[in-house]
Structure 1
Amino acid sequence: MYSNKEEMLVDTVLGEAIVKLISSDSRISISTVLDTLNIMSGTEPDPERQHAIHRAIEDVKNSTSVARQNVKKSHSTFSDSYSGQEPEDKKH
């Protein structure tokens, strides 16, 4: 459930970008979604949708950043457990 109209519109424009990629038989990746959103931003006349597109771009960038941090943490934890050492934050 959406807490407000803006969140729903952000998800809608993100979905539209993905549908455009699927329709054009393009590869779907973070970079192609961002490229498509940027193109949409350049052609969108409605200020409300324009704002939603910019929010979608920021959301994708932020989620990518969080995902990278999580991967680094999991690699660190795996390395520590593989070497038989506890991670620094797990030592007693």
Structure 2
Amino acid sequence: MYRSDEERLTDIIMGDAILQLLKKSGPLSPRALLDKLRGMASIERDPPRQQALSRAMSEVMNHIETPQSSGVAIKNTDNVTHIFRNRDGSGNGTKH
């Protein structure tokens, strides 16, 4: 459930940006999404949509700036991404 119409519009705009990236078959990453949102914001004239674009960009920037757990993502030939994370690095309790 949405707390406000503004949040709903923000989600709609972010979804639209993601769909546009998917249609172009380009990379789908936080940075690509941010670039797409910036492009959309540069041509948007409707004030509520401009504010929603600003909120969407802030959400993506917060995600980019938040340190993610260290790990490596590898995409295989079937376009499946495998993510390998460094859990705690101690090796204790690992049974191989």
TM-score bracket, normalised by the shorter chain, equals 0.7 to 0.9
TM-superposed deviation, 1:41: 0.3
CA distance in 1, matches of 2:58, 2:17: 14
Q: Can you give the 5+ residue segments of structure 2 that lack an aligned partner in the other structure?
A: 71-84
Give runs of aligned pairs for residues 76-91 of structure 1, distance below 5 A.
78-79=88-89, 81-82=90-91
Higher radius of gyration, 1 or 2: 1
Q: Can you give the 5+ residue segments of structure 1 that lack an aligned partner in the other structure?
A: 85-92
CA distance in 1, matches of 2:65, 2:32: 16
Contact 2:14–2:37, Cα closer than 8 Å, also in 1: yes
Helix, strand or coil for the counterpart of 2:48? helix
TM-superposed deviation, 1:64: 2.7
CA distance in 2, matches of 1:60, 1:33: 8
Instruction: Count the aligned residue pairs.
Output: 78
Instruction: Return the TM-score normalized by structure 1.
Output: 0.75
Instruction: Return the TM-score normalized by structure 2.
Output: 0.72
The answer to which structure has the higher strand fraction is 2
Greater RCO, CA 8 A, separation 6+: 1
The answer to which structure has the higher helix fraction is 1
Contact 2:30–2:63, Cα closer than 8 Å, also in 1: no
Off by >3 Å, runs of 4+ in structure 1: none
Tell me which residue corresponds to 1:29.
Answer: 29
Please, what is the CA RMSD of the aligned residues? 1.7
CA distance in 1, matches of 2:5, 2:13: 12
Give runs of aligned pairs for residues 4-19 of structure 1, distance below 5 A.
4-19=4-19
Give runs of aligned pairs for residues 35-74 of structure 1, distance below 5 A.
35-66=35-66, 68=67, 70-71=68-69
